[in-house]
Chain A
Amino acid sequence: MIQPVNISMDVLNLTTLAPMLVAVVGALFILVIDLFKSNLDKSLYVMISILFLFVDLIAVYESSLTFMQNGTVIGLFDVMQIDGLAIVSQFIIVIASMLFIPLAMTSKRFHEYSYPEYFALFLFMIAGFQFMVATDNLILIFVGLETASLSLYTMIAMHNRAKSFEAAVKYFTMGALAAGFYSFGAMVFYAITGSVEINQIAAVLDANSYKNLGYVFVAVAFLLASFAFKLSLVPFHTWAPDVYEGSSAALAGYMSIVPKIAAFIVTMRLFEFLVHSDIVWLKAILYAFVIITMTISNLWALVQSDVKRMLAYSSISHAGFAMAAVLIGTTEANTALLLYWVMFTFTNLGSFSMLWISRQKNLLPGQSSDHSYEKFAGMIKTAPIPAVIMGLFMLTLAGVPPFALFWGKLYMINAAVISGYTFLAFIMAINSAIAGYYYLKLIVYMFMKEPVDSRYEKVYTKNLSLTLKTVIGFAAVGTIFAVFAINPLLNLIGGFVYNSGF
């Protein structure tokens, strides 16, 4: 005899779902449009996506207001948890998505954008990420993660090039393995604590004072492995360079930002309590992850001959850099991570967009990849303004002040300093210096070398359209004038992070 379940709408608190629902509705809306009239222009879908994302943003904003009044909001059978982290990260996710999706409006036609499904998948993916960050339930995290990932695999493949398929297959297969790791880790946690909610897991472990420490380690090992995959920490990073190379620059840039921030949020939720429980093992492991990832991917980036691949390795390195925040685990560190990521969003948006506008249908003569360094040789002579802007983004990535990423680095190193991670701080500093080389290499090619082939000259802005110009201009302005945004951002993010207990 089943008792009728009586749940009040207040407890359900469906408003917590509003942002994700907007995205999902948007996706369905696009699919419905396509049902009625196919072969519509991509610009329509781009604008619809942006519109829905805008509504999404408003919904996030609403929930942030609620958070500021009432603190963390729980909803939907206690599954949803809208705290400061969720709100900030959703802001980043949605805004970054709004900035990246206009990159579809290139002047050249690309295969994937002719499918409305692409935009639907895009919105689904965003919904997935939003779910990931707005919960502390391992099931919902899993669902969100997989929703987003599966959409992403498909989107990569839709680029319709041999390399894109290869990238999609690689990403997919490894993603499946990571999903296995994740679920196994969750299972172990479930076995020892009887819960799949991070809060409760923490509570239970605290209560029995980590008596099953060995199993905790196993669970953490599996979960760490799966998130290390998402965050592309060495040695789980191997998908990243290939996937970045295989997918379109626009999507690669997107991948370097949004999935990672979602994963970072989950990692923070998952490991923060463990870090704070003084488990030396975890600290050592994270320390090793951070340093190895930062350093060795830097070294690999040094030897690349393709700019996009270099940026892929650089993104890995940046992820390692940001991962330090999880290791440090203080409010300052978490704030620094989010600040860093906001800055990184603008910078990578700019740099990948610059690659994107120079994308041509077919490989250039004498080239084996799309964006080799040689392609940009002597760019200052033929396309000075794009060269200057590209140089700007490279300098920003290198952490040259006063551009955006410098402030992220500054605050991150500071977080290490004030928590006593002196060695880490120095390693971070030295890695920034090593990284200088490969960013500088592109600058050297653009500004100091003679053009290799006159046929390359025409491609630098081949894909440029007004929309792309706007996006790049936005990114450039954002990176240059970041200094004026730091203070409000710091206050805002710091407030959100602090008030949600991280």
Chain B
Amino acid sequence: MEIGLSHYLILSTILFGIGLYGVMSRKNLLMLFFATEILLNSVNIGFAAISHYLGDLTGQMFAFFVIAIAASEVAVGLGLLVVWFKRHNRIDLDEMMSMRG
């Protein structure tokens, strides 16, 4: 079977869906971050595939930037997570409800 662009895009979409599902359902902050990583990386797959398909480097460039941004997000995110954990000893999302309404 020939693997074509649409397969990549479908994969990308499926991964994106998985990421979305993870974002919605995970209660552990760390797992949530993983889900966002999946989300961003699913896009990278798409970009790379389209870039190859179009013979245009812009997509790959975009993918690199996404990777870079994802990395810095992880840095910031983990920093926040660590502080939070230090304060509360928990990283459960349902604990984080001091503001509402």
Contacts and interface: CB of A to CB of B under 8 A. Distances in A.
Direct contact of A and B (CB under 8 A): yes
Contacts, number: 114
Interface string A400-422: 00000000000000000000000
Interface stretch (A61-69, A186-194, A257-265): A186-194
A266 interface: no
Contacts of A180: 16, 19-20, 36, 39-40, 43
Given A165-B83, A187-B50, A139 B76 contact: no
Given A146-B69, A146-B72, A183-B40, A169 B50 contact: no
A194 B54 contact: yes
A250 interface: no
Interface stretch (A17-25, A108-116, A170-178, A438-446): A170-178
A127 interface: no
B23 A183 contact: no
- Counting chain A CB atoms within 10 Å of each CB, the highest count among B42, B50, B66 belongs to B66
A96 to B, nearest CB: 24
A163 B39 CA distance: 27
Contacts of A190: 47, 50-51, 58-59, 62
Interface string A238-257: 00011001100000000000
B80 interface: yes
B75 to A, nearest CB: 8
A461 interface: no
A437 interface: no
Nearest to B24: A177
B61 A166 contact: no
B99 A150 contact: no
Contacts of A245: 99
B43 A143 contact: no
A294 interface: no
B62 A169 contact: no
B12 A187 contact: yes
A157 B46 CA distance: 33
Nearest to A170: B96
Given A143-B65, A172-B77, A184 B16 contact: yes
A183 B32 CA distance: 18
Interface in B45-101: 46-47, 50-51, 54, 56, 58-59, 61-62, 65-66, 69, 72-73, 76-77, 79-81, 83-84, 87, 96, 98-101
B99 A163 contact: yes
Contact of B77 (A142, A165, A176, A194): A176
A177 B39 contact: yes
B99 A179 contact: no
B101 A304 contact: yes
A153 interface: yes
A162 interface: yes
A153 B76 contact: yes
Contacts of B59: 187, 190, 196
A167 interface: yes
A121 to B, nearest CB: 11
Contacts of A143: 65, 69
A360 interface: no
A172 B62 contact: no
B11 interface: no
A134 B55 CA distance: 27
Contact of A165 (B40, B73, B80): B80
B29 A150 contact: no
Given A142-B65, A166-B99, A176 B73 contact: yes
15 contacts: A138-B62, A143-B69, A165-B80, A167-B99, A169-B80, A169-B96, A172-B77, A172-B80, A180-B19, A180-B20, A183-B40, A190-B51, A194-B54, A196-B58, A241-B99
Interface of A: 138-139, 142-143, 146, 150, 153-154, 157, 162-163, 165-170, 172-173, 176-177, 179-180, 183-184, 186-187, 190-191, 194-196, 241-242, 245-246, 303-304, 309
